[in-house]
Amino acid sequence: MNPVASNILQRLIDEGGFVSGEALCAELRMSRSAVWKHIGALRNAGYAIEAVSGRGYRLERLTGAPVAGEVSPLLDTVSFGRTFIGLEQVDSTNVKALALAREGAAEGTVVVADSQTGGRGRMRRAWVSPPGVNLYCSIVLRPPLPSVRVPEIPLVAAAAIHGAVTQECPELQAFIKWPNDLIVAGRKVCGILCEMESEPDFTHFVVVGFGLNVNLDPVPDELQGIATSLAIETGRQVSRARLLAAILNRFERLYREWLDEEDLGSLLPALEEHAWLKGRALQIEQFNRVLTGTEAGLSPQGHLLLRQEDGTVVPVASGEAHLRPVNHQ
């Protein structure tokens, strides 16, 4: 997508309604016929743009997966997103990225799809993945580190996505829910799934996948009260291309900083500041047991610190954290 068409698209997204042709001509310093040509380019790219005489142009809906032409001009990365694979539909972006990684895909390779037929999260739960509204993305990483450090990566990704959401939607207050979710208005807006192939002392590759509810509205009935979207909470459409670029820019920077440290180190203050579970009474479900206690922070390795009833603090490496009802505290 050319820069002028990209600017027109962003103007229509920001307005959320009609923008007059006269206003676009003045802002872009071009003729009506030139504006019309770029509107045509946007329509050819899959964007539904309504034109009404006397009112101007309006973006009816955002459709189609973000493509390299939209995202690349917004990147300041070295490797993240420089190999960009945009698909209309896929079973799972993680499955596709894993296959590419096994074939030697370079670090920073990005797979994005407009919809998924087999989207999944942790514990192999299904991830609802309708077309035209959300971000479904997977990134190939090749950290030169032992596999013991890989469980820290979801929190690096969460910090990056949190920062990007806050940048693009400054009116929202977002939180990171250990170990891999983003929460807005008490409901889930993003989930992160990391998968890897490794040996004890060597990591062949890691695939970081995330599903982010961007313009989903309404939420499916089965997810009412559980999930939300950026559009629902802001009351406006959010550019998936701009948001994806912001995520990739932040993720690469935080990832490079993390590689230079021995653990999560400098990320811990931000992770704890924006922690959804901070100081709350929890029940953590693991495969063979249930732990209860109060959240007491994060370890440098990204383990949740749980203060038990006897006052001891234990690190929890994995599990499903739930808030305990008040009468059980």
- Residue set of the binding site for biotin: 92-94, 116, 120-122, 188
**Which amino acids are annotated as binding site, given as ranges?**
92-94, 116, 120-122, 188
CA separation (Å) from 231 to 113, 216, 240? 19, 7, 11
Cβ contacts of 29 within 8 Å, gap of 6 or more:
none
Judged on CB neighbours under 10 Å (0-12, 13-18, 19+), 271 is: buried
Q: How far apart are CA 88 and CA 69, in angstroms?
A: 15
How far is Cα 117 from Cα 94, in angstroms, rounded to an integer?
A: 12
SS3 (DSSP) at 234? helix
The helix or strand, by DSSP H or E, that contains position 198, with its residue range, turns out to be strand 187-199
The whole-angstrom separation of Cα 114 and Cα 266 is: 34
Contacts of 313 (CB under 8 A, 6+ apart): 296, 305, 306, 307
d(CA 221, CA 240): 24
**84-90/110-116 β-pairing:** parallel
d(CA 133, CA 121) in angstroms, rounded, equals 18
Count the Cβ atoms, other than its own, within 10 Å of residue 113: 26
Q: What is the C-alpha separation between 8 and 18, in angstroms, rounded?
A: 12
